[in-house]
């Protein structure tokens, strides 16, 4: 069954259980065949359903660039963009110093088990780690280049956990996390992508592929073999998260994704591939960056967003309040997406104290309300006013009351304009022992919040109401 038909069935169950009176969901019509460029592998489709159940993940951009606090890789690029600004005006000198950063990269406080523990307490369920960013420095023990964390000129290379990708994947798997490998298709260190004979005017390959096809073939082989290493020697991998969308056939830079996908899935059956921004068969889900769509998207999707201002570590960065992060998480989930929240570890190998504090506060909220997120799908309407909705496969519906800034206790009553429970429906407030009394009102309902929950709220920021048929226990 394709994802859209499953979504339609889930919505139908919720509609029967609660008589939701609202407009139809957006997207593909139930029963319509998937487009020809959509994935059809049943193992991948099953993995995509699993992925959509996870809802909340951790992303980490980390590399030698963290020593300078600059935005990852991009200061190497000559484009006239805000994120490409350099403190040294001489580009050649800047590039020389940047590429020497591995010689001083020694994150001796690296403790992936602590990272995994903090993420698990926050309610995260999967991790995506930058095994190689655009600058070409490999945070894994590749055999294809010496420009890597285990290189002989890197002080950290003799550390027991020098292969940080392996250590991170193992630590997060031990906590039950799904594992994703971020990998940049572009490689600005490779002489077969940015050839040293010519200038590098922008992010793209700096020679004419049609004129030097043999060089491009070498780069394709290099890319293939590095992905093969990640898919072969690093245990079970669930997601191959490919960045560098300009490396695509539409841009004249075809790296043969069909061959890469066949190899990768031969070693990791059911592997999800996010060939982001490219579209087609190998972009199994969409990845809007630093934004939340205005309405549910067609098919699986994931908002990737920074906890602070930039993707990589910056000692002066400002972190989003936990309240805002929780609100965005609920907004994404109500629209049917996943929320991939990025933290940039420090050059010493620690998650910044500010990020750990945010994760603790998020975890306190998730401990009360997490079951209203995991495994849910959107229902029409995904939200109205201060309220957002989501539904489980069994028809259980959750309504999230999103508090405004300064609203520290839930209101005595919550009005729902478009959702009316059928007679006998049990309504409860997560974290509260008392049932919620409700009554029909116009097209919707009025929920009477227990006085005990108003006096001592079960959590902060967002309060969640669960709707279950009479006689059924609350979903757990």
Per-residue confidence at 469, pLDDT binned at 50, 70, 90?
low
Phi, psi at 240, each rounded to 5°: -105, 105
**Lowest-pLDDT range of 176-185, 321-330, 346-355, 420-429:** 420-429
The three-class DSSP label of residue 267 is helix
Single residue among 372, 407, 433 that ends a domain in this structure: 372
59 domain residue, yes or no:
yes
Cα distances (angstroms) measured from residue 48 to each of 54, 336, 378 = 10, 13, 16
Q: Is 108 helix (H, G, I), strand (E, B) or coil?
A: coil
Q: Is residue 211 part of a domain?
A: yes
Secondary structure letter of residue 184 according to DSSP: E
Q: Among 328, 356, 372, which residue terminates a domain? A: 372
Which structural domain, as residue segments, surrounds residue 381? 3-32+376-468
Domain presence at residue 474: no
Phi/psi at 306 (5° precision): -80, 145
Q: What is the pLDDT of residues 142-183, one digit of tens each?
A: 999 999 999 999 999 999 999 999 999 999 999 999 999 999
In-domain check, residue 251? yes
Neighbours of 35 (CB within 10 A): 11
Claim to verify: residue 141 and residue 129 sit in the same structural domain: yes
How many domains is the chain built from?
2
473 in a domain, yes or no?
no
Listed residue (423, 422, 413, 419) closest to 398, CA to CA: 419
Find out whether 371 and 476 touch, Cβ atoms under 8 Å.
yes
**Judgement on whether residues 12 and 59 belong to the same structural domain of the protein:** no
Signed CA dihedral, 352, 353, 356, 361: sign only: negative
461 shares its domain with 319: no
Same domain, 315 and 398: no
Asked whether the predicted pLDDT for residue 10 surpasses 80, the reply is no
Q: How far apart are CA 250 and CA 245, in angstroms?
A: 10
Contact assessment for residue 98 and residue 106, using Cβ atoms and an 8 Å cutoff:
no
Q: Are residues 317 and 392 in the same domain?
A: no
Distance CA 166, CA 158 (A): 15
Q: 423: domain CATH number? A: 2.60.40
Q: How high is the pLDDT of residue 442?
A: 82
Structure confidence at residue 32 (pLDDT):
38
Evaluate whether 167 touches 97 at the Cβ level (below 8 Å).
no
Q: What is the DSSP letter of 65?
A: G
Query: Is residue 37 situated within a structural domain?
Result: no
Angstrom distance (rounded) from CA 99 to CA 75: 11
């Amino acid at each position: 069954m394709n994802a859209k038909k499953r979504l339609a069935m889930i919505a139908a169950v919720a509609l029967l259980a609660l008589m939701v009176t609202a407009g139809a969901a957006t997207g593909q019509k139930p029963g319509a065949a998937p487009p020809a460029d959509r994935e059809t592998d049943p193992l991948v489709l099953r993995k995509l359903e699993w992925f959509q159940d996870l809802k909340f993940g951790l992303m980490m951009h980390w590399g030698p660039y963290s020593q300078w606090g600059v935005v990852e890789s991009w200061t190497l690029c000559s484009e006239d963009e805000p994120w490409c600004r350099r403190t040294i005006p001489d580009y050649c000198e800047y590039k020389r110093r940047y590429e020497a950063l591995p010689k001083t990269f020694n994150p001796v406080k690296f403790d992936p088990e602590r990272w995994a523990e903090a993420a698990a307490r926050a309610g995260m369920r999967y991790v995506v780690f930058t095994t190689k960013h655009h600058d070409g420095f490999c945070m894994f023990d590749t055999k294809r280049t010496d420009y890597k964390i285990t290189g002989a000129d890197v002080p950290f290379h003799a550390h027991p956990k020098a292969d940080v990708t392996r250590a991170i994947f193992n630590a997060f798997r031990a906590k039950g996390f799904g594992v994703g490998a971020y990998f940049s298709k572009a490689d600005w260190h490779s002489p077969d992508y940015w050839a040293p004979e010519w200038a590098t005017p922008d992010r793209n390959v700096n020679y004419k592929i049609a004129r030097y096809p043999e060089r491009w073939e070498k780069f394709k082989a290099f890319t293939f073999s590095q992905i093969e290493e990640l898919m072969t020697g690093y245990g079970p991998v669930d997601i191959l998260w490919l960045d560098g969308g300009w490396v695509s056939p539409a841009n004249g830079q075809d790296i043969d994704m069909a061959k890469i996908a066949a190899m990768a899935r031969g070693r990791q059956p059911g592997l999800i591939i996010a060939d982001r921004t490219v579209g087609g068969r190998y972009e199994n889900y969409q990845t809007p960056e630093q934004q939340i769509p205005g309405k549910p998207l067609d098919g699986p999707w994931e908002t990737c967003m920074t906890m602070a201002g930039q993707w990589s570590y910056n000692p002066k960065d400002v972190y989003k309040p936990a309240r805002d992060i929780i609100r965005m998480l609920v907004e994404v989930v109500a629209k049917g997406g996943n929320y991939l929240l990025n933290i940039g570890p420090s050059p010493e190998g620690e998650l910044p104290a500010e990020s750990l504090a945010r994760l603790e506060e998020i975890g306190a909220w998730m401990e009360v309300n997490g079951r209203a997120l995991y495994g849910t799908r959107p229902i029409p309407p995904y939200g109205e006013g201060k309220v957002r909705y989501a539904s489980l496969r069994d028809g259980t519906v959750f309504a999230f009351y999103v508090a405004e800034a300064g609203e520290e206790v839930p209101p005595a009553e919550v009005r729902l304009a478009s959702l009316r429970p059928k007679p006998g429906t049990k309504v409860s407030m997560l974290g509260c022992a008392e049932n919620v009394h409700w009554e029909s009102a116009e097209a919707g309902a009025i929920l009477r919040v227990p006085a005990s929950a108003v006096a001592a709220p079960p959590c902060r920021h967002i309060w969640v109401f669960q709707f279950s048929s009479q006689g059924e226990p609350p979903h757990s």
